[in-house]
Structure 1
Amino acid sequence: MKDYNNLSKEDGKLLVSTARKIVTEYIKNNTKLKLENEFKNNFSFKSGVFVTLNDKQGLRGCIGYPLPNKLLYDALYDAAISAATKDPRFPPVEDKDLNSIIFEVTVLTSPKKIIVNNPEEYLSKIKVGRDGLIVKNGYHSGLLLPQVPVDYNWNAKEFLEHTCEKAGLSKDSWKDPTTVIESFEGIIFKE
């Protein structure tokens, strides 16, 4: 059975094309695409996943599941529709938008807490381009995918600061001993 560690480029192409088909069917016909049994069987392992939509202006929607609580095919389905229609930062995607949108699917490993004795150690433990981050403190939580710091040319410190801000915290909250920092890896598949 497949899992995160043995996804091929062909699997990635299939995940991305299926995300597009799911969104297209939902937007054009207001119906849910029936996934083929073979697709379900191939992606029936639990995994976190994010679906990202970009157009020529940049980000157009991004929603997903950071934790492996759902089977990948099921999480992909929900994330694709949500990224297109429920990202509160953007208006819902319309039929006329579909041809100008590029779909991206990021399949995630389980998040793991980064253990440090001193917050400055985070800077050497986070690898930009490999790691995604989750910052938690109290009721606040924020996540940035591994490709984000690469896209913006951030170093590890800037990545931490922006993830803190995404969580609704001050940018230096990563230095607070009550803040929990988790990392995960992601395989990025893009049209």
Structure 2
Amino acid sequence: MISDKSGEYLVKLAKNAIKQYLETGEKITKDENYPIELDEKLGVFVTLNKNNNLRGCIGYAEPIMSAIEATIDVAIAAAVNDPRFPQVTLDELENIDLEVTVLTKPEIIPVAHYSQYFDEIEIGKDGLIIQKGYSRGLLLPQVATENKFNVENFLEHTCIKAGISADSWMDESCDVYKFQGQIFK
């Protein structure tokens, strides 16, 4: 994964990216002195919280672009494109806490029977992606901890996020992936 210094850099970058976009409508460019390890392609999510309530969360689960470019993109998207919330305003930005989660590449959890998920998923460490057909849902590792989910609750809520029935994770046609995340605030 990445160093703490790089993680702190991403948090500042995310806040600056949102601020510049809200002020000018333009995307920030990376400066020359960024940590070089952020050129690595990594999955990244940016979560916005206001008064300990979710205010926006968007990300890339797959490593499709460099961590630095992904952070800029998803920070802006979390502030202005999360369909669950109105666009963040410049005035409200100072009261928003930012969290950047850098992800490992998601890996399918191979099981012969769904009961094996209980041994393969570690609450507080693993995030989940559940896919059935074209439906796909993702929950970050911290969601299980924050909501005091056990493994079964975590699987059910990831299914609900995918828009499928809560027990779909037991279905052989459903793929369950896990990943880990480094959280920076």
Q: Same fold (TM over 0.5)?
A: yes
Task: Give the superposed CA RMSD.
Answer: 1.1
Greater shift, 43-52 or 25-34, is seen at 25-34
What one-letter code is carried by the residue in structure 1 that aligns with 2:182? I
Whole-angstrom CA distance in 2 between matches of 1:80 and 1:42: 19
Aligned to 1:186: 181
Alignment match of 1:113 (pick from 105, 108, 114): 108
Confirm or deny that 1:131 pairs with 2:126. Answer: yes
Confirm or deny that 1:44 pairs with 2:39. Answer: yes
Greater shift, 29-38 or 102-111, is seen at 29-38
**Kept after mapping to 2: 8 A contact 1:40/1:73:** no
Whole-angstrom CA distance in 1 between matches of 2:58 and 2:105: 17
Distance 1:74 1:40, change over 3 A: farther
Whole-angstrom CA distance in 1 between matches of 2:102 and 2:92: 25
Q: What TM-score does the superposition give when structure 2 sets the normalisation length?
A: 0.97
What one-letter code is carried by the residue in structure 1 that aligns with 2:46? V
Alignment match of 2:29 (pick from 26, 31, 34): 34
Q: What TM-score does the superposition give when structure 1 sets the normalisation length?
A: 0.94
Aligned to 2:171: 176
Whole-angstrom CA distance in 2 between matches of 1:28 and 1:76: 18
DSSP 3-state at the match of 1:38: coil
Structure 2 segments unaligned to the other structure (5+ residues): none
**1:13 Cα deviation (Å)?**
1.1
Work out the number of aligned pairs and report it.
Answer: 185
**Kept after mapping to 1: 8 A contact 2:6/2:35:** no
Aligned to 2:55: 60
**Kept after mapping to 1: 8 A contact 2:103/2:179:** yes
DSSP 3-state at the match of 2:85: coil
**Kept after mapping to 2: 8 A contact 1:106/1:188:** yes
Confirm or deny that 1:85 pairs with 2:80. Answer: yes
DSSP 3-state at the match of 2:105: coil
Structure 1 segments unaligned to the other structure (5+ residues): none
Question: What percent identity do the matched residue pairs reach?
Answer: 44
